Structure 1
Amino acid sequence: MKSFFDDGVYDEITTRIQQLQNDSKPVWGKMNVGQMLHHCQMPLNIILEKEDYGLKPNWLMNLLFKKSMYSDKLWRKNLPTAPGFKITDTKDFDTELKAITQLLDELNSRREKDQWQAHPAFGELTKDQWGKMQYKHLDHHLRQFGV
């Protein structure tokens, strides 16, 4: 699994995001492209310590899901979204595109950082685990929109 912190991955992700259009249709799932871009900002906000979304440590979630967050196995289509991360209201594509681009730029500017805070739900993660989790989530949703 690639890590967001690997050489070239920032360029890959930003190039793929720029291929999205206001009328891009999902290959699977219920979100439209603006909602997906807003949803994808949430894990970025967590790693950048801007928001924790009320997540709390949960031993069961750690046991069942933590390793899948950064393993090499792709997530299957139509995975259920955690309730606090579902986006159902209308989101403006241009606004969300600008916001996610700024977050990606900020994360990329910190890519040399070695120590990262604990995840509010999954606890301690290495830099590699954080980077793989970010890439895996973004890749999953970009594949959802065919880019």
Structure 2
Amino acid sequence: MKSLLETDGYEDIRSRLKKLQPEMKPLWGRMDAAQMVWHCQIPLEVGIKNKLPKKKGNLLIRLFFKKSLYNDKPWKKNLPTIPRARATESKDFNQEYERLLELVDTFHHLKSRESWNPHPMFGSLTAEQWGKLEYKHLDHHLRQFDL
């Protein structure tokens, strides 16, 4: 499994993002390209901000879904997302795309961060798990747009 904290995973995501165009249609789901790049910013911001969660995530989610966050098996299509990350309004592709690239760069440059706070939903993750989680989320949505 690639990681956004490692050079090969970072370069893979960056090169695939460069191929994304605003008029591209998804293979599944409801989000258009602009909404997808906005949506992909949310988990990156969580990792970058490194805040302690206000409450622990659901124990069942942590037990049953956590391992799928950073293994090699692709995620299923149309997985549910948290309400905050649901793209229900139109987004400006160029603005959101530039912001996503900034966040991908910022997250990658955290590869030497020594301390990672727990994920608000999935609990304690190592740096390796954080990197794989972020890569896998971006990979999932780039596959959604056949990239």
TM-score above 0.5, yes or no: yes
- The 1:110/1:56 distance shift into structure 2, 3 A limit, reads same
AA in 2 matched with 1:103? L
Larger CA deviation: 81-90 vs 28-37: 81-90
> 2:122 is aligned with what amino acid?
F
> Which whole-Å CA distance do the structure 1 matches of 2:107 and 2:16 have between them?
17
Tell me by how many angstroms 1:45 deviates.
0.3
Match of 1:64 in 2: 64
Question: Runs ≥4 in structure 1, deviation > 6 angstroms?
Answer: 50-55
Q: 2:55 touches 2:120 (CA, 8 Å); kept in 1?
A: yes
Alignment pair present for 1:42 and 2:78: no
Conservation of the 8 A alpha-carbon contact between 2:24 and 2:33: yes
Q: Which runs of 5 or more structure 2 residues have no equivalent in the other structure?
A: none
Give the 3 Å change call, closer, same or farther, for CA 63–110 of structure 1 in structure 2.
Answer: same
Runs (5+) with no aligned partner, structure 1: none
Distance in 2 between residues matched to 1:10 and 1:67, nearest whole Å? 21
Tell me the CA shift for residue 100 of structure 1: 0.3
What is residue 145 of structure 1 aligned with on the other side?
A: 145
3-state SS in 1 of match to 2:111: coil
What is the aligned partner in structure 2 of residue 116 from structure 1? 116
Which amino acid is 1:134 matched to? Answer: E
* Structural RMSD (CA): 1.9
Deviates more, 1:43-52 or 1:89-98: 43-52
Distance 1:112 1:81, change over 3 A: same
Give TM-score, length-normalised by structure 1: 0.91
Equivalent position amino acid for 1:75 in 2:
W
State the match for 1:12 in structure 2: 12
Secondary structure of 2:135's aligned partner: helix
Shift of 1:80: 2.4
Of 113-122 and 87-96, deviating more is 113-122
5 Å-filtered alignment, 1:21-36, equals 21-36=21-36
| TM-score normalised to structure 2 length | 0.91
How far apart in 2 are the matches of 1:121 and 1:6?
A: 24
For 2:76 and 2:52, the matched residues in 1 are separated by 25
Matching residue of 2:79? 79
